[in-house]
Amino acid sequence: MNGLDQWVSIFGPMQVLIFDGETGLDDPAATQYFERKGITKRTSAPGQHVRICDRRTQVLRDTIHKISSQLSEEGIAVPLSRVLAEATYAGCARSQFNALQGQAPRTD
């Protein structure tokens, strides 16, 4: 909810949020938040997935794990909010590169 609230504070509330029944978004506090912000909350049907969002979330999680592992290996302590910010930036930078160049950057 904190991450969603940060997004809403920057971009404003969405009209409808479709989610997969995630318990973090389906409790009384979340319901009250959505009502207060004027967001209609809808649960997707069983077996229905938002594939692009699912894949982007998976890439973000993988990036967070890689950053966290490297920081741990180097003995550097960084708050999760900062790791999330760096991982988000990396994902956005890659997407912009793909859009501008028409291909993914070389990694070799």
Task: Tell me the domain boundaries of the chain.
Answer: 2-43, 51-101
Give the tokens for residue 63: 């990036």
pTM beyond 0.85 = no
- Average the pLDDT over 30-45 and give the result: 88
**CA neighbor of 76 nearest in space, from 86, 64, 68:** 68
pLDDT classification of 104: cutoffs 50, 70, 90: low
Give the tokens for residue 30: 């979340």
Is 63 a residue whose pLDDT tops 70? yes
pLDDT at residue number 17 = 85
Provide CB contacts within 8 A for 30, sequence distance 6+.
1, 24, 41
